[in-house]
Amino acid sequence: MTTYLLKNVSVLGGEPQDLVLKDGVVSTGSTTEGVEVIDATGLIALPGLVDLHTHLREPGREDAETVETGTHAAALGGFTAVHAMANTEPVADTAGVVEQVWRLGREAGYCDVFPVGAVTVGLAGERIAELGAMADSAARVRVFSDDGRCVSDPLLMRRALEYVKAFDGVIAQHAQEPRLTEGAQMNEGELSGRLGLAGWPAVAEEAIIARDCLLAAHVGSRLHVCHVSTAGSVEIVRQAKARGWNVTAEVTPHHLLLTDELAATYDPIYKVNPPLRSAADVEAVRAGLADGTIDIVATDHAPHPHEDKDCEWAAAAFGMLGLETALSVVQQTMVDTGLLDWAGVAERMSYAPARIGRLSDHGRALEDGAPANLVLFDPSVSRVIDSSETASLSRNTPYAGRELPGRVVATFLRGKATVLDGKLA
């Protein structure tokens, strides 16, 4: 295996130093013999990014994405671990399916894949799935979610929260009260009325988050809130944390950058669940991510083939790509605005998501002996996003034609380069 010497690299934005990647681990000393030298002057090293929320679509929708293509996109985005959501066909609600997804990730070798297990059988919201069997399987599932659907039955949610305590699991809730969002198409507000698109009220998200925080506190379990999108949601999570409840939350890159104004184009590339919200909501989720109320950034990478997106708004699928652009969007919205430094980015895109997912070999500081999972990032350049250049099988990026700052130069998984010079290695 190649030994790499990263010359003059700025770890978390600090003073330039050398890092050696040898036999799968990091060392801060220097060696010169038999090494491949990478001039990392001006580059920032971050621990390999960890995504708690990715849709890889395999099994079942291999026309949209596969574990192989999705993990290529992940590596190009600087990720060394992704959690693959359970809304596949068949649903990842048994030990057999989660082991299959986990193994496909290992075989592809670009990024570790940690399957998320479904909370209910078939995501139908009626019976709890085999959570314990998934936890005990080779995939060691710790995160459970019916994402795409809300676990709306409060008794089922309570039982699931109680159940996962036995193996230190967490329920990741897609917070959407179904009765308040029937037929909903975009953020409810003055604009939805003007555009004639059915509104999706903030309270549909906030009511479920409030309920679930109370349930998690009542049974003493861990709750994670997927894709927080409104100012009110941030406030509820803030209050839950102030009371010492075990609640964590994520925000997506697109909810940090884009607003509901984009719906005025009627271009379904901007159609996503939860919907893009107002500028005031964007400001609130940025502030919540900065002050730690929102723990992490998660991509909610949601590939869809063109026939499901290139149609009229109401008929189009919800979802957008995110893996290859996440770090750039975070640079633009959080670092270049002065809201976070690079150490803060490492916390929110690597350490904290690894802790929530109970991963041991990811989300580790780049110190002597740590697994060599890291990304080299150049924040000084910018690029115009071209949807035809993605490694994903789908093309539904909302950033096509936009200029975004920064570029992933290299990614290493256990010391092996998965990306070099910005290309798959």
Ligand X SMILES: NC(=O)N[C@@H](CC(=O)O)C(=O)O
Q: Please report, in range form, the residues annotated as the binding site for substrate.
A: 55-57, 87, 273, 304, 318-319
Which does residue 134 touch among Zn ion, ligand X, none (CB within 5 to 8 A, set by kind)? Answer: none
CA angle, 317 as apex, 393 and 177 as ends, to 5°? 130
Q: Tell me the number of residues near Zn ion by CB under 5 A.
A: 3
- What lies within 8 Å, CB to CB, of 235 at 6+ separation is 284
Report d(CA 317, CA 362) in Å as an integer: 32
φ, ψ for residue 404, nearest 5 deg: -120, 145
295 part of the interface to ligand X, by CB under 6 A: no
φ, ψ for residue 218, nearest 5 deg: -60, -40
Residues between 126 and 185 with contacts to ligand X, criterion CB under 6 A: 147-148, 174
Q: Which of 260, 300, 336, 361 is catalytic?
A: 300
Q: Could you tell me if 102 and 130 are in contact, meaning their C-beta atoms sit under 8 angstroms apart?
A: no
CB of 301 to Zn ion, least distance (A): 8
Task: Quote the radius of gyration of the chain (alpha carbons, Å).
Answer: 20
Nearer to ligand X among residue 109 and residue 305 (C-beta): 305
Report d(CA 415, CA 413) in Å as an integer: 5
Nearer to ligand X among residue 268 and residue 406 (C-beta): 268
Which one among 43, 210, 257, 302 touches ligand X, defined by CB under 6 A?
Answer: 302
Nearer to ligand X among residue 147 and residue 295 (C-beta): 147
End-to-end CA distance of the chain: 14
Residues between 52 and 111 with contacts to ligand X, criterion CB under 6 A: 55, 87
Nearer to Zn ion among residue 89 and residue 107 (C-beta): 89
Which does residue 151 touch among ligand X, Zn ion, none (CB within 5 to 8 A, set by kind)? Answer: none
CB of 338 to Zn ion, least distance (A): 30
Tokens 């049974």 correspond to what residue?
A: 219
CA angle, 303 as apex, 98 and 262 as ends, to 5°? 140
CB of 273 to ligand X, least distance (A): 3
Which does residue 146 touch among Zn ion, ligand X, none (CB within 5 to 8 A, set by kind)? Answer: none
CB of 129 to ligand X, least distance (A): 18
Q: Which residues are annotated as a binding site?
A: 53, 55-57, 87, 147, 174, 227, 273, 300, 304, 318-319
Residue 123 backbone class (left: φ over 0; alpha: ψ -120 to 50; beta: rest): left
Tokens (6 digits) for 293? 């109320």
Stretch that binds Zn ion, among 71-79, 146-154, 165-173, 390-398 (CB under 5 A): 146-154
Please list the alpha-helical segments (H only) found in 319-402: 326-330, 342-346, 352-356
Residues involved in catalysis: 300
